[in-house]
Every structure is written in structure tokens, then in C-alpha cells.
């Protein structure tokens, strides 16, 4: 049996939607993009959504939009994908890490205050694996020190904690529609924003900072456009939006199926002391984006090899960012700087986890994990 790490969930309706978008004369940002943005804003219960080319762009735009720039510091987690910290670098700011919680791998809110300096401008939490960080706490700290909050919600379109969802307490929340995310258009992203002014800025900023958007420039009356500031070029196209609209309608159904799969995995590993799984905290509706197991670091790579030899797709999410060559050298990080993140990074394996997995496939993966553990 071969079990891919990820399989997307596109169906005929999605392909028909793209067909329709391709017959329209405007392939760039237009009515279909607007429709997707409105539907996503409604789903998230936020005021505005701005569609872009990737979550990396969303993070960069979000940081720039709230005024983070050269010389500023942004507090974030080392247990994330490098896009999070790369976005901080792109705007000329410096990532300042704080370690993560043992139980969840999420940023440890207890450690945030002591990392704040006169240069700190923002906090950038990442809702790891789909479980939300403690946004109530993080918002309170941000308000006390007049900081902005940018959420990396690439794993957490569907998550909720204590009645709060991504984008509701942050100034900005950023989403990804990359090839392996829960809804996908290959490459794509979005920002959720509540402030009218910031949403308008983001809409301009995704198209060079011009005063008229792509679609508006093709309207029925000619208008000269003005350039207000130096923006980016990362606007979402109608083709991307067309691919996403149908999937957004099925997002809860797909999450429920992943919840069932998580239960099968959990039940399989429950009795084995050599396999730990991240805790799901009470009050949390887990987005269930990734299913990670934490094993003995001494045998992790051996287990990876065994699963690989059994044709099972596996990924390490994540090796901690501060130890990646670029960051290690630029900021002189050393082994041991963020011990909890390093421990998780050395122990973690992410298993195949998507709605299209069959129960047989899930059982096969779980069985192979247990075989590998006992080698
Ligand atoms: C996928 C991912 C990103 C980047 O998303 P892109 O759309 O590929 O730019 C950022 N942060 C996290 C945590 C991710 O998993």
C-alpha cells in the first residue's frame, strides 16, 4: 500500500468553477476574487478578507500594514515554517523568538513579556498544527505594551479557542492556500482584517499601492490612477479564487473527517508510551491541519526511514527556525537557545492527514508507526 503525505480534495464542481472563470475576460483580480473574499469573511466572521498570492505575502503585507519596518522587533515562535520569520526579514525587522509550550508546541505566552524591548512592534503567534494559541492572553499583553498582533493562521482556517477564531483578536490573520493546506489553489493566501482602513491599505498594497485595483482599471469609464506608496504585486487572481470557492463550502465537512482520522490515530497510539501526541486543550476546536507524533529523538530518523520504506509520506514539521543556517549565522543562535522547540523538532513526525484518507490507510499508517517504534 502507498499512502501519500497529502491529497487535495478538488471535485468536479471546482473544475467547472475554474472553467467558468477561464471563459471570463478578466483572469486577474475581479468579481470572483471579491466573491471568495466575501465568503471567507463571512465564514471567519471578520469584517474584511484580502486575497493574495501566498500566506508569505499576506504576512509581509500584514506586517508592513501595521507599521512594522526596519529596526523593529517582532516576537514569534521558532516552532514554525520559515515563511513566518522570512516575512519579518522581508520588511527589515528582526525576529525575536520565545520558546514554546511543552504540551502543544504553541508559543508560550508566559515568556512573551520578558522578550519585549523598546524596539518591539508586534507579536506574531502561529497556531501550530491547527490548535489556536491563547489569543486572549496575547491580545492583553499586546494592548498593555501598545503592540500589534499578526496571526499566522496557515494551519488554522477552521480553528477556535474560547469562542475566538483567527482574525477576531489579531490586527491581521494570515491564511495559506498552498498545495498541502486544507483548501488549496496551488499557491494562494489571504489576510483577514477588521479595520476598514487597514483592509483598504492592503487592497492597494497588493497591487503596487495604486489608487485603483486591477479590476477597477478595466471599468467602463477611464480614470487616471495615482500611486500612493510603494506596494507589492501579489493580488489573488479570479482563477485562484474560482478554485477555492467550492472548497470553502466543504471546509467543515473535511475538518470533521480529519477529526475522525485523528481519533483513529489517537486510539492506536494511546497505549504506547513511546508515542506522544500534542495535547488538545479544553475550550479548543482544533483546526486539525497536521497530525504530528512526538517520539524518542534517538529513534526518530530510524522511524522516518522505516515509514518511508513502507511508501508512507511523512514530513518533519518543524525543525526549529533559529537553527536554520541563515538565522543561526545572522543572529548567532546556538543549540539550546529554545530547548522546548528543539526537543519537539528532534522528536516530531507528521503523518498523512487529509479527508480523502480511507480508514484502511489510516490503520496501515498507525500499524507501521507501531512496528517502527518496536524495531
Ligand atoms: C504553509 C505555511 C506558510 C506559508 O504559506 P505560503 O502560502 O506557502 O506562503 C506560513 N506559515 C505556516 C505555519 C505554514 O504552514
Q: Which residues contact 296 (CB under 8 A, 6 or more apart)?
A: 274, 347
Nearest CA to 357 out of 365, 349, 345, 369 is that of 365
Q: What is the pLDDT of residues 83-110, one digit of tens each?
A: 999 999 999 999 999 999 999 999 999 9
Dist CA 308 CA 99 (whole Å): 30
Give the confidence band of 127 by pLDDT, cuts at 50, 70, 90: very high
Q: What is the pLDDT of residues 242-256, one digit of tens each?
A: 999 999 999 999 999
Ligand 1 within 6 A of CB of 81: yes
pLDDT of the residue at 211: 79
Ligand 1 within 6 A of CB of 129: no
Taking CA atoms only, the protein residue closest to ligand 1 atom 2 is: 154
Distance of CA 205 to the CA centre of its chain: 21
Distances (CA, A) of 99 to 182, 201, 221, 254, 359: 27, 33, 55, 32, 36
- pTM exceeds 0.75, yes or no: yes
pLDDT of the residue at 212: 66
Ligand 1 atom, smallest distance to 188 CA: 7
Give the confidence band of 360 by pLDDT, cuts at 50, 70, 90: very high
Ligand 1 within 6 A of CB of 126: yes
All three cell numbers of 150: 499578526
Compute, in angstroms, the gap from residue 55 CA to the centroid of ligand 1.
5
Testing ligand 1's pocket by substitution, the residue of 6, 61, 62, 152 carrying the most ligand atoms inside 8 A of its CB is 152
At residue 38, does pLDDT exceed 60?
Answer: yes
Do residues 188 and 244 lie in contact, with contact meaning Cβ atoms separated by under 8 Å? yes
At residue 210, does pLDDT exceed 80?
Answer: yes
Percent above pLDDT 90 for the chain: 95
**Averaged pLDDT, 272-301:** 97
Amino acid at each position: 500500500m502507498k499512502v501519500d503525505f497529502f491529497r487535495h480534495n478538488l471535485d468536479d464542481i471546482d473544475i467547472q468553477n475554474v472553467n467558468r472563470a477561464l471563459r471570463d475576460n478578466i483572469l486577474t483580480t475581479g468579481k470572483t476574487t471579491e466573491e471568495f473574499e466575501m465568503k471567507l469573511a463571512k465564514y471567519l466572521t471578520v469584517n474584511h478578507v484580502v486575497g493574495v498570492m501566498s500566506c508569505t505575502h499576506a504576512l509581509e503585507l500584514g506586517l508592513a500594514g501595521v507599521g512594522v519596518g526596519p529596526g523593529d522587533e517582532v516576537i514569534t515562535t521558532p516552532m514554525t515554517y520559515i515563511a513566518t520569520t522570512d516575512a519579518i526579514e522581508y520588511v527589515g525587522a528582526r525576529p525575536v523568538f520565545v520558546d514554546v509550550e511543552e504540551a502543544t508546541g504553541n508559543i508560550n505566552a508566559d515568556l512573551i513579556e520578558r522578550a519585549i524591548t523598546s524596539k518591539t512592534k508586534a507579536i506574531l503567534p502561529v497556531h501550530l498544527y491547527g490548535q489556536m494559541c491563547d489569543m486572549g492572553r496575547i491580545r492583553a499583553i499586546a494592548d498593555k505594551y501598545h503592540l500589534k498582533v499578526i496571526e499566522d493562521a496557515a494551519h488554522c482556517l477552521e480553528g477556535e479557542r474560547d469562542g475566538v477564531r483567527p482574525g477576531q483578536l489579531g490586527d491581521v490573520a494570515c491564511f495559506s492556500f498552498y498545495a498541502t493546506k486544507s483548501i488549496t489553489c496551488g499557491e494562494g493566501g489571504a489576510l483577514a482584517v477588521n479595520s476598514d482602513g487597514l483592509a483598504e491599505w492592503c487592497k492597494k498594497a497588493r497591487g503596487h499601492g495604486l489608487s485603483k485595483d486591477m479590476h477597477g482599471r478595466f471599468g467602463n469609464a477611464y480614470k487616471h490612477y495615482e500611486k500612493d506608496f510603494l506596494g507589492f504585486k501579489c493580488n489573488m487572481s479570479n482563477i485562484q479564487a474560482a478554485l477555492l470557492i467550492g472548497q470553502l463550502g466543504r471546509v467543515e465537512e473535511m475538518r470533521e473527517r480529519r477529526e475522525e482520522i485523528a481519533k483513529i490515530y489517537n486510539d492506536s497510539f494511546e497505549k504506547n508510551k513511546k508515542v506522544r501526541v500534542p495535547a488538545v486543550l479544553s475550550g479548543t476546536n482544533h483546526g486539525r491541519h497536521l497530525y504530528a507524533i512526538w517520539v524518542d529523538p534517538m529513534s526518530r530518523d530510524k522511524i522516518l526511514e522505516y515509514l518511508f520504506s513502507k511508501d508512507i509520506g511523512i514530513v518533519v514539521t518543524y525543525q526549529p527556525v533559529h537553527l536554520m543556517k541563515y538565522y543561526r549565522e545572522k543572529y548567532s543562535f546556538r543549540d539550546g537557545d529554545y530547548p522546548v522547540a528543539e526537543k519537539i523538532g528532534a522528536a516530531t513526525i507528521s503523518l498523512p492527514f487529509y479527508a480523502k484518507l480511507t480508514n484502511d490507510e489510516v490503520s496501515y499508517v498507525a500499524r507501521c508507526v507501531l512496528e517502527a517504534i518496536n524495531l
